[in-house]
Structure 1
Amino acid sequence: MRAMWCGFALGVILLQRQAALPGWGAWLGLILVAALAAGLAVWALGGATSLDAVLDAAEHSPGFGIARRWRIASGWAAVWLAASCVGFGYAAWRAELRLADGLPAAWQTRDLDVSGYISSLPSYGANGASFLFRVESWGGREASTAATRLPHLIQLSWVARETPLPPLVPGARWRLAVRLKRPHGNGNFGLRDAEAAWLARGVRATGYVSDPAHARRLPVDADGVGVRIERARAALRERIVAVLGDAPHRGIVIALATGAQDSVSDADWRLMRNTGTSHLVAISGLHLAFVAGLAGWIAGALWRRARWRGVEAPLVVPAQKVAVAGALLAAAVYAALAGFNVPVQRALWMLAVVALALFTGREVARSHVLGWALGLVLLRDPWAVTAAGFWLSFCAVAAILFAATGVPRLRRDAPQDLSPDEIDPMRDRDEPQPGARTGGARRFAVAAVPRGGWRRAAQRFASRAGDSARVQWAVTLALAPLTAYWFAQIPLIGPVANAFAIPWVSMLVTPMVIGSAALPAPLDALALRAAHTCLDWLAVVLGVLEGVPWAVLRLPQPGAWPLACAAVGVAWSLAPRGWPLRWLAPFTWLPLLVPAPTGAPPGAFRLTALDIGQGTSVLVETARHSLLFDAGPGPESTQAGERIVVPYLQAHGVTRLDALMISHDDSDHSGGAQAVLDSIGVGQFVAGILPAHALWASAREKGAQTVQCAAGQRWQWDGVDFEVLWPDPGPLAGKPNAHCCVLRVSTAARAGQEPVSALIAADIEAGVERTLVAREPAQLRAQVLVVPHHGSRTSSTEPFLDSVWPLVALFQVGYLNRFHHPHPGVYARYAARHIVLARSDADGAARIEARPGALAIERFRDTARRYWMDPPEQN
């Protein structure tokens, strides 16, 4: 079953990497390949029912020759292939069903009436709340004539404007006027895909309540198991908020109790990411195991003391089975409160498989338990493989199991009269006896343990401490490549931080948080305050560890080749003692830890126009320098500076900006600058903002040199020329758009090769364009143009375009933005000149590679397209 579930998972992973779902021809080919592979597996494996049986036959049968070995190997390869085809087909079938629900493109941005109920725990922010809404009926004539199945689940935001938010209770039925759009996320190279997360949750439209004043609460609330669970989560959160108020770590307590992480503060997230303890915020398998173990112990203890009509209860049903049943029930309840995230699902399924094996009197190996959990998680949610939690959870458990069983700890010279407690506590029932052989298990014998008092206690403590250290080392090593891929960093201080944080949270904080849910008032308040006090002390310790200079190793997001090499290094490093050439394992990490330079070659530059919604942020990179032009919206809007710009810089190895240029004071250009200054080192801060603006002082506090941008400023990096064309030197006057920074970047000139230039025009309008054209039209000539003012009708005049005469034009605009940028007439003006166009709302981020005499463009939704993305004509 291990091979089958692993092959099934491989097929699911392959489907989630596809740009389109399979057609009829692909389906027929898939079925044919699966049938042929299944037939080959049946023929090659013969009567062998498992890999263990094959290995036993190979060891004990003298006639088991090379031909038979090749036949067995081909049989197991066929099992993998058949299972992969099944997994691919299953995931494609589920995707077809989910994508069948869709909002008609013509309905986007219209006022629609929907009736239904709140189906999730609301997430509260500074300006309102967001929640999942289960649609029961669509109002209006259009709904009855819709050509497609309409979405059943939508995500809504309710913004508090003139009136405060009403009580948003899970299960409450409402009739709402909403404005919706098809699921659309920002598309940027190397960053998280929000559309995949929406698809996994079943969300097929997003939007907001357009007329809160006329929202009407319907009399009868929805009921059902899911709604009751969400109500319980909401009640528990309200209870915590009432007790802790605005306590700094209140969000962590809420996350441990309900699994909702929206209340965790940015400071707490930053502290835990940098110390490698973020997993403690999520309700994980560790927490679920604690709850299950405690419940199982209580259930077993009570059952051993129970009697029924004079008959002791254990004589009717063994206490061990009752304990396992109690543990499974408690784990299921806790998993429901946690929202069934992937780590919790994995732990719950593993516990369920073990419980089933116990009830049926069968023994099951640890690897089989993990394999079943892998398959059951993907059967429930084939899109789980697109989330970091899936990979981190399963790889961590695999490393733990390997570390717990893969190193021989016992010797052959053991006395035979030891009690079971004196034998290795990590040994499973399915592990072999001395000299036995089972599928890959290692030979061992029982070790002598000192019988004398304190020596035996010290030996046992040292043994368990060694086990813990070995497991922590294995997990840290196994997850390092994944954390580098998903988070662009490896917290080197993580093993030390976790050695303290894991037992602290597991043995103190989590029991008090869980206990508060069952305790009556005022004992629940005492437990919650005690848990928060423990978190205060934990934050102090983690803060000290975070201050260590080498605490975090930041790396660019690795590609497939460095990841593969690091994975080989992980398996090689964790291999048993005696494995050949283990000392070479660290060298396989070099492509990950010492990545090749990713900048443009000398004399060339790379320009990346990020997809940040409505706003501007452009990264310009030369061989050894980088400049960020604008930083997108900030906390007052979409927080693109923190959500997109900073993660993109970190994922691409930009740990320091030589220059941060903020063109002007509009929030969609300057709002994210503070997030960049807080997270990325900046050498020079250049801006077209008024002297009293707070960003000047903030930049100086961060150690950046501050300069007001002005026409005539020139510099050169790595053979690439930079020149500011606007505004004129002197005090800034007029509205912000009138004194935007305008930057021109040009490659080096080489014999026989013309230089390539890019013009970044910010939000200049027609008046500034006329001034620039009148001064020196040739100075505006550029092959790449970041379109002025997002393509508004007040810019991109005919004389300006004739002077620039671009080959490529980049529009940074939000999807269905309220300004209706780009203006249709302006867009047609560019198209009439046969300019290659890229717009962030349809194409995602655009990357330009410019070198003397050569120019190339790469669009995110072309190179990284997935089947759940709308085709360009529907964007």
Structure 2
Amino acid sequence: MRAIGCGFALGVIALQRQAALPGRAAWIGLVLAIVLAAGWAVWALGVRAPAGDSWVRGQFRERRWRMASGWAAVWLAAGCAGFGYAAWRAELRLAQALPAAWQARDLYVTGYLSSLPSYGANGASFLFRVESWGTHEEAHDAATQLPQLIQLSWVAREAPLPPLVPGARWRFSVRLKRPHGNGNFGLRDTEATLLARGVRATGYVSDPARAVRLPIDASGIGVRIERARAALRARIDAVLGDAPHRGIVIAIATGAQDAVSDADWRLMRNTGTSHLVAISGLHLAFVAGLAGWAAGALWRRARWRGVEAPLVVPAQKVAVAGALLAAGIYAALAGFNVPVQRALWMLAVVALALFAGREVARSHVLAWALGLVLLRDPWAVTAAGFWLSFCAVGAILFAASGVPRLHRAAPQDLSADEVDPMRDRAEPSAEPIARDGWRRRLAAIAIPPGGWRGATRRIALRFGDSARVQWAVTLALAPLTAYWFGQIPLIGPFANALAIPWVSMLVTPLVVGSAALPAPIDAFALRAAHACLVGLAAALGALEGLPWAVLRLPQPGAWPLSCAAVGVVWWLAPRGWPLRWLAPFTWLPLLVPAPTGPPPGAFRLTALDIGQGTSVLVETARHRLLFDAGPGPESTQAGERIVVPYLQAYGIARLDALMISHDDSDHSGGAQAVLDAVDVEVFVAGILPAHPLWASTRAKGAQTVQCAAGQRWRWDGVDFEVLWPDPGALAGKPNAHCCVLRVTTAAGDARETQAGPVSALIAADIEAGTERTLIERDPARLRAQVLVVPHHGSRTSSTEPFLDSVWPLVAIFQVGYLNRFHHPHPGVYARYAARHIVLARSDADGAARVEAAPGALAVERFRDTQRRYWIDAPAQD
């Protein structure tokens, strides 16, 4: 089963890395590969070893080769089956699509809320199950199914939101678009998340005044579960109100994490305790264990017509059934996230094995859970929770494989062979142990139950086991934590040693118990749970304040991750594994990454995909400059959601300069988030003196400079020059005094052909008047091979004389997908296309990265090099 489950998972993972789904030829190849591999496996593994003296060395070698080839065939067949199954599921899901002509237009949909709403500062978002679409004058392709599940947001503008109850049927006027997410190197793929949830269109309620609540609500088991979650959340909100850690209580009770505050997220992320917020396998195991103990205890005392209940059905089976039932209910409240699914399936497999009277190895249980999770959701492999959950359990099983199940007592009670640990041949914990061997093993090595020495030793062994498990989990998850979150919480083992028992033994029972208690008793339980969280937050805050608490790292590539994975296996191997002292050295590529900057004299320019706005990162060999920071809290919060995570993903904890071109929210809105997240050496801006960013920057200890033409500096052989605005007081509208920056590589070796300097011009939001002034002053200074298009391609800029003066080879448009300004203007875009310029649009291509060196220029577009089969090529207006 291990080979089948792991092979199936590898096939699913391989499909999620494909740029396109398999065609007819690939499907034929898959079927043939499965049939041939399965046939070979049956033949090779079905060969029996001959008896007697005929078993010679040559036959042994042949048998060993057949076994190896048979298991390889099992892996191949399972991998192909997983690949084909995931591709089939993907084709079914992608068959639902919103017609391109229906995007950004008013449509009428009728259906019901199918999820617990997620509330934000400006409104709520929820999943909406569409039952019918309103009539539309344009027919859609008959071969395309309309989306059945869409994600809607309802912004509260003039009137407050009405009650949004799961199962409530509504008729909405909506504006939709196809699933689309910002595409940036090293950041999470939003489109993959939407596909995994089954969402095939996103949008908002365009006319809340015309929203109609229909009289008959939807029904079904899914609706009832969501209503139970909503009712439980409402009870918590009513009791705790604005309590600081209310979001954590809601997350533990229902799995909804939208109410967790940013401060709590930051605290738990930096201490490695974020897993305690989500309903994880740990919480589910605790609830299942408590329910199983209660069910078993009650059943042992039950009698029916004078017959004791355990004589009819063993109490052990009743306890397992009760644990499984409680786990299923709790998993439903959690929304069946991946860690909960993993724990639930493992419990179900163990329960079935117990009912069938069979032993099953723990590694087989994990393999069954792996296969069942991916059968239900092949896109689970795109989420961090999948890797963290399964790798944590796998690490525990692997680390325990060389540790005896039971510990010895005093050495004088054992023989010399039993005292020597190198001679211990106890079976690994992942393997089944014969039942009749338990009594002999207990008699030989059990700890005497009496006496304070025995109790002390039992406590010490329990703490030793817990420390070993915590060490294995921390070590195994460190590379994955660095990959997904760009940091390794060094304080994590100590924080979890406190937080895990505190949350498991106090907070979780109180929160779960409150769901079953009547009012007003439930209020006491909820307040007690919150009081426990207050104490825990204080302790974690003290740990977070230690200078060595968090190690921040750039997102590792495949090579450092592979080396670290080898080191994890090497470190956690059973005692006696050769050269274990070399394992730490395999972590050097992860902990000491190689410099990623361009060589001296060259620069790298990355135009981020932040939607409608500008944010450009310029890197030299040892310096970093960020030009604009995208929208802030007043809009899409791209500065916090995209710009800061991108800097952290690439290990940029310090900016040598942050340049804010002017005071427009899509350029300056995210600056505060950047200032809060990274250190800034110099703040250069074209904003008015009264702007709050000046005071905020000075409070951070950064040098402040007003942007003005004539400012020049050189970093690592790369020249930077500000071309606009003129020195002095800023006048006119913000677009009239934008900072314009020109970046130029070193000149190169004159003896080489075409080794001249390469320049990039970042023009912010300048318009035609500024373009004319710059041309009149010095058109040669505008010459640049790379142009970040002014004003997002608005018709008020990019005039013919300006393009003739710049004459770019590459033009980058930073525009939002289906933005309301209709940028870039079709006429302006055609103006660039007519010059045969290499074009990159953030709405269609994602982020664009330019590598510029003397005499060399290379362009990489995110959706070209990182394309996946679910990425939809957006229509370009």
TM over 0.5: yes
State how 1:6-85 maps to structure 2 within 5 Å.
6-46=6-46, 65-85=60-80
2:792 and 2:814 in contact (8 A); partners too: yes
Gap change, CA 1:274 and 1:810, over 3 Å in 2? same
Amino acid at match of 1:80: W
Deviation at 1:702, TM superposition (A): 1.3
Select the residue among 670, 678, 695 that pairs with 2:668: 670
Amino acid at match of 1:807: L
Amino acid at match of 1:130: S
Equivalent position of 1:784 in the other structure: 786
Equivalent position of 1:121 in the other structure: 116
- CA offset digits 1:80-128 (Å, max 9, x no partner): 0010000000000000000000001111011101000000000011111
State how 1:441-840 maps to structure 2 within 5 Å.
447=445, 449=447, 453-752=451-750, 753-840=755-842
Deviation at 1:523, TM superposition (A): 1.1
- How far apart are the structure 2 equivalents of 1:373 and 1:653? 35
Equivalent position of 1:86 in the other structure: 81
Equivalent position of 2:420 in the other structure: none
Amino acid at match of 1:195: E
Deviation at 1:303, TM superposition (A): 0.8
Identity %: 83
- How far apart are the structure 2 equivalents of 1:425 and 1:702? 59
Question: 1:277 aligned to 2:259?
Answer: no
Deviation at 1:67, TM superposition (A): 2.6
- How far apart are the structure 1 equivalents of 2:554 and 2:862? 18
Amino acid at match of 1:307: R
- CA offset digits 1:175-234 (Å, max 9, x no partner): 110000000000000100010010011000000001100111111000100000000101
- CA offset digits 1:853-872 (Å, max 9, x no partner): 00000000000000001135
Amino acid at match of 1:197: T
Select the residue among 360, 365, 385 that pairs with 1:364: 360
Select the residue among 160, 173, 178 that pairs with 2:174: 178
1:556 and 1:653 in contact (8 A); partners too: yes
- How far apart are the structure 1 equivalents of 2:267 and 2:444? 44
- How far apart are the structure 1 equivalents of 2:59 and 2:110? 69
SS in 1 for 2:126: strand
Amino acid at match of 1:823: H
Deviation at 1:446, TM superposition (A): 5.1
Gap change, CA 1:558 and 1:858, over 3 Å in 2? same
- How far apart are the structure 1 equivalents of 2:92 and 2:474? 39
Amino acid at match of 1:88: F
Deviation at 1:414, TM superposition (A): 8.6
- CA offset digits 1:304-332 (Å, max 9, x no partner): 11111111111111111111101000000
Deviation at 1:405, TM superposition (A): 3.4
1:105 and 1:874 in contact (8 A); partners too: no
- How far apart are the structure 2 equivalents of 1:434 and 1:131? 52
1:411 and 1:444 in contact (8 A); partners too: no
- CA offset digits 1:816-853 (Å, max 9, x no partner): 00010000011011011111000000000000000000
Gap change, CA 1:731 and 1:425, over 3 Å in 2? farther
Q: Which moved further from structure 2: 134-143 or 163-172?
A: 134-143
Deviation at 1:256, TM superposition (A): 0.3
- How far apart are the structure 2 equivalents of 1:749 and 1:62? 71
SS in 2 for 1:692: coil
- How far apart are the structure 2 equivalents of 1:95 and 1:434? 45
Question: 1:300 aligned to 2:296?
Answer: yes
Deviation at 1:403, TM superposition (A): 2.6
Equivalent position of 1:193 in the other structure: 189
Amino acid at match of 1:27: W
- How far apart are the structure 2 equivalents of 1:141 and 1:758? 47
- How far apart are the structure 2 equivalents of 1:288 and 1:174? 35
Select the residue among 82, 92, 95 that pairs with 2:90: 95
Select the residue among 394, 398, 419 that pairs with 2:394: 398
SS in 1 for 2:203: strand
- How far apart are the structure 1 equivalents of 2:443 and 2:12? 41
SS in 2 for 1:541: helix
Gap change, CA 1:414 and 1:12, over 3 Å in 2? farther
Q: Which moved further from structure 2: 461-470 or 142-151?
A: 142-151
Gap change, CA 1:201 and 1:426, over 3 Å in 2? farther
2:398 and 2:573 in contact (8 A); partners too: no
Deviation at 1:449, TM superposition (A): 3.5
Deviation at 1:445, TM superposition (A): 11
Amino acid at match of 2:602: A
Q: Which moved further from structure 2: 540-549 or 841-850?
A: 540-549
2:363 and 2:430 in contact (8 A); partners too: no
Q: Normalising by structure 1, what TM-score?
A: 0.95
- How far apart are the structure 2 equivalents of 1:367 and 1:390? 17
Q: Which moved further from structure 2: 62-71 or 85-94?
A: 62-71
- How far apart are the structure 2 equivalents of 1:445 and 1:782? 83
Equivalent position of 1:381 in the other structure: 377
- How far apart are the structure 2 equivalents of 1:496 and 1:510? 20
Amino acid at match of 2:848: A
Deviation at 1:450, TM superposition (A): 5.3
- How far apart are the structure 2 equivalents of 1:581 and 1:794? 68
Deviation at 1:407, TM superposition (A): 2.5
2:722 and 2:739 in contact (8 A); partners too: yes
1:410 and 1:444 in contact (8 A); partners too: no
Deviation at 1:144, TM superposition (A): 6.3
Amino acid at match of 1:624: R
Select the residue among 264, 268, 271 that pairs with 1:268: 264
- How far apart are the structure 2 equivalents of 1:140 and 1:414? 87
SS in 2 for 1:502: helix
Question: 1:407 aligned to 2:415?
Answer: no
Deviation at 1:372, TM superposition (A): 0.2
- How far apart are the structure 1 equivalents of 2:662 and 2:361? 63
SS in 2 for 1:65: helix
Gap change, CA 1:284 and 1:451, over 3 Å in 2? closer
- How far apart are the structure 2 equivalents of 1:641 and 1:193? 17
Amino acid at match of 1:613: G
Deviation at 1:32, TM superposition (A): 1.1
SS in 1 for 2:611: coil
Deviation at 1:447, TM superposition (A): 3.6
- CA offset digits 1:362-407 (Å, max 9, x no partner): 1101000000000000000000000000000000011122233332
Gap change, CA 1:17 and 1:446, over 3 Å in 2? farther
Gap change, CA 1:338 and 1:736, over 3 Å in 2? same
- How far apart are the structure 2 equivalents of 1:256 and 1:47? 52
- How far apart are the structure 2 equivalents of 1:871 and 1:585? 45
Amino acid at match of 1:33: A
1:411 and 1:445 in contact (8 A); partners too: no
- How far apart are the structure 2 equivalents of 1:592 and 1:8? 29
Gap change, CA 1:84 and 1:424, over 3 Å in 2? closer
SS in 2 for 1:294: helix
Equivalent position of 1:310 in the other structure: 306
State how 1:181-260 maps to structure 2 within 5 Å.
181-260=177-256
- How far apart are the structure 1 equivalents of 2:56 and 2:744? 73
- How far apart are the structure 2 equivalents of 1:592 and 1:431? 37
1:183 and 1:198 in contact (8 A); partners too: yes
- CA offset digits 1:240-271 (Å, max 9, x no partner): 11111111111000000000001100111011
Gap change, CA 1:113 and 1:106, over 3 Å in 2? same
Q: Normalising by structure 2, what TM-score?
A: 0.95
1:392 and 1:482 in contact (8 A); partners too: yes
Q: Which moved further from structure 2: 680-689 or 83-92?
A: 680-689
SS in 2 for 1:469: helix
Count of equivalent residues: 856
1:602 and 1:719 in contact (8 A); partners too: yes
- How far apart are the structure 1 equivalents of 2:550 and 2:267? 11
Gap change, CA 1:92 and 1:444, over 3 Å in 2? farther
